[in-house]
Amino acid sequence: MHSFLRVVAAGALLTLLTAAGCAEGDKTEARPTVTVPETSPPAPVALTPQVAGQAFRSYVTDEDVARAAGDERLALTWTSDGQSQLTAAEFRKAAYDGDPVRRFVYGTPKLYVPKLRDAAYPQWFVVSVDRSVVGQPKTKRRALMSFILRGPSDHWKLTLATLLQEKAKEPKVAIDAAGYATAMSAEDASVLIRPRDVGGIQATIAAEGPRSVAAKVMRSNAVTTGFYQDAKKARKKAKKKDVTYTAVYTATPFPYFGLRTEHGGGLVIYSLFRNTSLIAKDPGTPKPEIPQEAEHLLDGTVEGNEVDTTATLHFAAFDPPKAKKGATQPKAHMVADDGTVTKAGTPPVKKP
C-alpha cells in the first residue's frame, strides 16, 4: 500500500513539474503585441493663387522630364481624364512615326483661381499661357489649361488643355482684389446658355448644321457648322466607294469648368467625343480604308467591314450674359479647340 502511494505521489509530482515547464516555456516564447499607429489623412490645403502657381510650375517641370525621356507612363501620372487620352495618343503617334515626343516652352502664365471652400474637393484652376514646341518658336499658341486636385492625398493633374483659335480674342476673366476668379455653377441662369449645356449646343449644331435651332444661340464656327460641313463632305466621299460614313458628337464623363468674365459673361471649358464609323455594308465592296489620323492606333488591317474611331476634343467657349429686355442678344461663340483621334477599332463582321 505504501509503495502504491509512493508511485501515485511520484506521478502527481511529475505531472506538476511538466505543467510548470510547459507554462514557463510558453512564457519565454510569448511575443509582444504589435500595434500599428493610426495615420491621419493629409489636412486639406486651401487653394490660393500661390498654391496654383506652384502647382503649375511643378507640372511644367515634371511634364518636360517625362517627354524628354520618352516615358509615356510617367507623363500619364501628371494628367487625367481627356488629357490622359490625348497624351497617350501623342506618345503612340510619335513612336509610330519614329519621332521624339514634343516638348514645350511656356511663357508667363495668367492664373484663374476660383475662391472655393477650404475643405471642398475637387479643387481646380485654369491657366492661360503662351506655349510653343521646343526649337519651333513659330508654333507659339495661347493655351488654356485646366488643372484638378480630387483630394488631399492626390496631386495636381492636367485634365484639359485647348488652344485659342486664330483671330479669337481670349475672354477677360474677372479677377477680384485678392486675385481670385469666380466659378460659375452648372445651372447659372445669368448667361445665355447654362454652362452644363454649352457642349450639347455645339454638338447639336455639328449634327444638324446652320438650320438647327441651336444655331440661334451659338455663332457659326469651324467647330460648329464647320463640323457639320466636314461630315457632309466625308459622307459624299465615302458613298463613292460604297461605304457609309457617320459622325456623332457626344458628351464625356470628364469635368468642365466655368469662370465668370468681365461684364457678366462666362468662359466655359469642356470636352466632347466624336465617334465616327466607316461601314461597307455590301460584302462585295472593298473594305474601308483606315483613316490616316488613326493609323498609329491600328495594326494596318481591317478584320471586318467597319472602321470605328473616337476623337477626344477639348473646347472653350464664351457664353454671353442674358441681354436685358428689348436689347439685342449676342450669341455664344467658340474661342479655343484642340484634340485628335484617341481610339480606333476594326470589329469583325457581326453574325446574324
Q: Are 93 and 296 in contact (CB under 8 A)?
A: yes
**pLDDT number for residue 240:** 93
pLDDT recorded at residue 301: 82
Nearest to 277 by CA among 199, 222, 341: 341
Please check whether residue 127 is in contact with residue 147, taking contact to mean a CB–CB distance below 8 angstroms: yes
Contact 38, 44 (CB under 8 A): no
User: Where do we find the cell 470628364?
Assistant: 254
pLDDT tens, per residue, the chain with 352 residues: 344 334 333 444 334 334 444 444 444 455 555 555 566 667 778 899 999 999 999 999 999 999 999 999 999 999 999 999 999 999 999 999 999 999 999 999 999 999 987 678 999 999 999 999 999 999 999 999 999 999 999 999 999 999 999 999 999 999 999 999 999 999 999 999 999 999 999 999 999 999 999 999 999 999 999 999 999 999 999 999 999 999 999 999 999 999 999 999 999 999 999 999 999 988 778 889 999 999 999 988 887 899 999 999 999 999 999 999 999 999 999 999 999 999 999 988 776 6
Angle at which helix 225-239 crosses helix 198-208, to 10 degrees, equals 40
Asked if 226 and 207 touch (Cβ cutoff 8 Å), the reply is: no
In sequence order, the 6+-apart residues with CB closer than 8 A to the CB of 178 are 115
Q: Specify the 3-state DSSP secondary structure of 311.
A: strand
CA–CA separation, 181 and 184 (whole Å): 10
Distance, CA of 192 to CA of 329 (rounded, Å): 8
The CA distance from 274 to 268, in Å, is: 19
Model's pTM, two decimal places?
Answer: 0.86
In the numeric block, which cell numbers belong to residue 348? 469583325
pLDDT at residue 19, as a whole number: 41
CA distance linking residue 268 with residue 195, whole number of Å? 6
pLDDT for the residue numbered 39: 60
Q: Residue 24: its pLDDT value, please?
A: 45
Q: Where would I find the H helices in the chain?
A: 2-29, 49-69, 72-76, 81-97, 198-208, 225-239
Return the DSSP state at 80.
Answer: -
* Count of C-beta atoms within a 10 Å radius of residue 185: 11
CA dihedral 138, 144, 146, 147 (to 10 degrees): 40
